[in-house]
């Protein structure tokens, strides 16, 4: 088993933050905000493209059984169902009953799709029942992502593939005339995640649970629109959090935000974030 991620801890749940509360969507006051966030992301070409490429990396064949861990709204499940065909099975697992209910409602009524409520840290499946297993932007919300990877390896058959796509919030950049403030805001946001630096550690986690032939593909998401970035990265709320924590003065936080809005108006707003797709294969077969 791999060593746990160093320096990562499970902070106190923040029931409003998109960083901190995706692990407890059923307990937040406004779950619709989390649903809207996933819908917004799925409409962005960068996300559609990496999702399609990471599904291809699973190497699925008709008749296979595939598990999607942290399926959210199930936006990938229908595509996985199409990959395995009517004789196969695509199972979407999520710990949020609200997300699963939305997934059930949206999914086309097909025999090859199934849903399961459960925790990535203790998958409710027997050993080696799936041909492949995928997780997408969920390990960042899990306190022990290596345990989740070990569970995915456990339920995957010998020779099968495990594919994970996660951002690494250590790569989150916001351009500002006050780069120190930008760093404080980026760190405040990253620390809201239980495992905000999991992207860089996926290969280590996969190796630690016995996966081989590990392949890493980086993809950088550049967003040049402040309103869109604020909707995804909760920038205004994060600045307020950095002010409340004493990292920024009120005036500096306001000037930082003002600078971002101004940059947007003048056409040079810049944010970027790198995602890592990592594929590993179970030995044998
Ligand atoms: C950021 S969303 C990603 C959803 C989906 N994979 C996508 O790409 O749209 C994270 C999802 O993981 C779920 N989740 C968080 N912690 C989990 C856990 N420990 N076990 C299972 N699901 C979890 C959340 O309920 C949420 O649906």
Neighbours of 268 (CB within 10 A): 10
For residue 218, give the nearest of 150, 265, 157, 273 by alpha carbon: 273
pLDDT of residue 15: 54
Name the residue at shortest CA distance from atom 10 of ligand 1: 138
Query: Ligand 1 mean position to 8 CA, how many Å?
Result: 18
Instruction: Kindly report the CATH class assigned to 22-282.
Output: alpha beta
* pLDDT score of 122 more than 60: yes
Average pLDDT, the chain: 92
pLDDT band, very low/low/confident/very high, at 84 (cuts 50, 70, 90)? very high
pLDDT of residue 18: 82
pLDDT band, very low/low/confident/very high, at 3 (cuts 50, 70, 90)? very low
Distance (Å, whole) CA 63 – CA 75? 20
* pLDDT score of 240 more than 80: yes
Q: Where are the domains of the chain?
A: 22-282
**Residue by residue, what is the 3-state secondary structure of 243-278?**
HHCCCCCHHHHHHHHHHHHHHHHHCCCCEEEEEEEE
pLDDT band, very low/low/confident/very high, at 108 (cuts 50, 70, 90)? confident
pLDDT in tens, 29-65: 888 888 888 989 989 999 999 999 999 999 999 999 9
* pLDDT score of 102 more than 90: no
pLDDT in tens, 8-29: 444 344 456 888 888 889 888 8
22 lines ligand 1 (CB under 6 A): yes
Pocket test residue of 22, 155, 192 for ligand 1, highest count of atoms within 8 A of CB: 22
Query: Ligand 1 mean position to 86 CA, how many Å?
Result: 26
Positive or negative, the CA dihedral 243, 32, 90, 79 is: negative
Location of structure tokens 């939305």: 102
23 lines ligand 1 (CB under 6 A): yes
pLDDT of residue 7: 36
More confident residue, 17 or 114: 114
**Average pLDDT of span 254-261:** 98
pLDDT of residue 221: 98
Name the residue at shortest CA distance from atom 8 of ligand 1: 136
pLDDT in tens, 145-187: 999 999 999 999 999 999 999 999 999 999 999 999 999 999 9
19 lines ligand 1 (CB under 6 A): no
Over pLDDT 90: what percentage of the chain? 79
Neighbours of 183 (CB within 10 A): 15
Question: Tokens standing for 198?
Answer: 């999991």
């Amino acid at each position: 088993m791999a060593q746990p991620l160093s320096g990562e801890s499970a902070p106190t749940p923040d029931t409003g933050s998109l960083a901190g509360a995706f692990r407890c969507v059923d307990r937040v006051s406004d779950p619709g905000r989390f649903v809207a966030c996933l819908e917004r992301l799925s409409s962005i070409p960068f996300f559609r493209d990496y999702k399609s490429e990471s599904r291809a990396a699973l190497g699925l064949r008709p008749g296979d059984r595939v598990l999607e861990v942290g399926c959210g709204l199930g936006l990938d499940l229908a595509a996985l169902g199409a990959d395995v065909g009517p004789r196969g099975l695509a199972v979407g697992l999520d710990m949020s009953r609200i997300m699963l209910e939305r997934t059930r409602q949206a999914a086309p009524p097909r025999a090859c799709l199934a849903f399961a409520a459960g925790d990535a840290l203790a998958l409710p499946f027997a050993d080696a029942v799936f041909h492949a297993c995928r997780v997408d932007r969920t390990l960042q919300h899990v306190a022990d992502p290596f345990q989740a990877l070990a569970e995915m390896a456990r339920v995957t058959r010998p020779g099968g593939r495990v594919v994970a796509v996660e951002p690494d919030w250590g790569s989150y950049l916001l351009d500002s005339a006050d780069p120190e403030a930008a760093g404080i805001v980026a760190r405040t946001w990253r620390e809201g995640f239980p495992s905000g630096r999991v992207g860089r550690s996926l290969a280590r986690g996969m190796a630690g649970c016995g996966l081989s032939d590990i392949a890493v593909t980086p993809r950088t998401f550049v967003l040049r629109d402040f309103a869109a970035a604020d909707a995804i990265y909760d920038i205004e709320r994060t600045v307020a959090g950095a002010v409340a924590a004493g990292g920024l003065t009120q005036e500096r936080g306001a000037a930082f935000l003002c600078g971002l809005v101004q940059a947007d108006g003048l056409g040079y707003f810049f944010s970027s974030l790198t995602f890592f797709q990592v594929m590993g294969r179970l030995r044998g077969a």
